Amino acid sequence: MFHNANQTHFSLSIEGVSHDLQVLEFSGHEAISQPFVFELELISERPDLDLESLLHRPAFLALSPNGTGIHGLIYRIAQGDSGQRLTRYHVTLRPQLAYLAHRINQRIFQHLSVEKIISQVLEEHGIQSDAYTFQFGPTVYPQREYCVQYDESDLHFIQRLCEEEGIHYHFQHSPDGHVLVFGDDQSVFPKLPATAYQQDSGLVATDPVVKRFGLRLETRSNRVTRRDYDFEKPRLLMEAAFASEFSPDLEDYDYPGRFVERERGKHLAKRNLERHRSDYELARGDSDQPLLRSGHYLDLCEHSREDFNQLWLLTAVSHEGKQPQVLEESITSHTQAKDGFQQGYRNHFTATPWDVPHRPALRHPKAKILGSQTAVVTGPINEEIHCDPYGRVKVQFHWDREGQGDDSSSCWLRVASSWAGDGYGGIAIPRVGMEVLVTFLEGDPDQPLITGCLYHAAHVVPYELPANKTRSLFKTLSSLGGGGYNELRIEDKKGEEQIYLHAERDWDENIEHDQKIRIGNQRHDTVEANSYSEFQAEEHRTTHADRKVETRSNDHLSVANTQHVKVGVGQFIEAGNEIHYYAGNKVVIDAGMELTATGGGSFLKLDPGGVTLSGATIKINSGGAPGKGSGISILPPVIPWAADQDKAGNLLDRANANPTWLELNLHYRNLEPVPGAAYRVEFTDGSVCEGVLDADGFARLEDVPPGPAKVWYGEDPRPFVRKPIKAVEVTEESIENDLRKLGLDPNQVDLQALVEQAAGRLA
What does each C-alpha distance from 634 to 551, 552, 558, 559 come to in angstroms? 16, 17, 7, 11
Return the pLDDT at 470.
96
DSSP3 helix / strand / coil % (the chain, rounded to 5): 10, 30, 55
Give me the phi and psi of 722, to 5 degrees please.
Answer: -75, 130
Half-sphere exposure of 560 (CA within 13 A, CB side): 2
Return the pLDDT at 4.
54
Distance (Å, rounded) from C-alpha 237 to C-alpha 233?
Answer: 9
Side by side, the strands of the sheet bearing 498-502 are: 471-475, 487-491, 498-502
Q: Which amino acid makes up residue 488?
A: L
Q: Is the dihedral of CA 456, 460, 462, 463 positive or negative?
A: positive
Collapse the DSSP code of 736 into the 3-class scheme (helix H, G, I; strand E, B; otherwise coil) and give the result.
helix
Residues of the chain with CATH 4.10.220.110: 220-278
Low-confidence residues of the chain: pLDDT under 70:
1-8, 201-204, 328-338, 623-624, 633, 641-659, 723-729, 741-743, 754-763
Distance (Å, rounded) from C-alpha 541 to C-alpha 492?
Answer: 33
**pTM for this entry:** 0.75
Please give the DSSP secondary-structure letter assigned to residue 459: S
Return the pLDDT at 5.
52
Give me the phi and psi of 266, to 5 degrees please.
Answer: -65, -40
- Nearest-10 Cα torsion for 735, 736, 740, 742: 30
152 CB contacts (<8 Å, ≥6 apart)? 104, 105, 160, 367
Distance (Å, rounded) from C-alpha 557 to C-alpha 635?
Answer: 8
Are 592 and 607 a contacting pair, CB within 8 Å? no
486 CB contacts (<8 Å, ≥6 apart)? 475, 476, 502, 503, 504
| CATH class name, domain 104-188 | alpha beta
Return the pLDDT at 727.
63
Return the pLDDT at 651.
45
- Return the closest-CA partner of residue 284 out of 292, 275, 276: 292
Return the pLDDT at 536.
86
Distance (Å, rounded) from C-alpha 620 to C-alpha 623?
Answer: 8
628-684, pLDDT tens digit by residue?
777 776 777 777 766 665 544 444 444 455 568 899 999 887 778 899 999 999 998
Q: Does an H or E element contain 156, and which? A: helix 154-165
Q: Which amino acid makes up residue 480?
A: L
Collapse the DSSP code of 545 into the 3-class scheme (helix H, G, I; strand E, B; otherwise coil) and give the result.
coil
- Return the closest-CA partner of residue 445 out of 478, 411, 474: 411
463 CB contacts (<8 Å, ≥6 apart)? 471, 473
What does each C-alpha distance from 47 to 20, 75, 78, 134, 757 come to in angstroms? 11, 20, 12, 44, 133
What DSSP line would sit under 83-124, residue for residue? -SS-EEEEEEEE-GGGGGGG-EEEEEE-SB-HHHHHHHHHHH
Burial (CB count within 10 angstroms: exposed 0-12, middle 13-18, buried 19+), residue 329: exposed
Are 368 and 376 a contacting pair, CB within 8 Å? no
Distance (Å, rounded) from C-alpha 621 to C-alpha 297?
Answer: 139
Residues of the chain with CATH 3.55.50.10: 104-188
- Return the closest-CA partner of residue 506 out of 474, 472, 478, 473: 478
Q: Which fold has domain 369-458?
A: OB fold (Dihydrolipoamide Acetyltransferase, E2P) (2.40.50)
CA angle 185, 188, 192 (to 5 degrees): 125
Residues of the chain with CATH 2.40.50.230: 369-458
CATH number of this structure's domain 220-278: 4.10.220.110
Are 308 and 213 a contacting pair, CB within 8 Å? yes
376 CB contacts (<8 Å, ≥6 apart)? 395, 396, 398, 405, 433, 434, 435, 436
Half-sphere exposure of 390 (CA within 13 A, CB side): 12
Give me the phi and psi of 752, to 5 degrees please.
Answer: -60, -45
- Return the closest-CA partner of residue 711 out of 691, 695, 726, 729: 691
Q: Does an H or E element contain 265, and which? A: helix 262-277
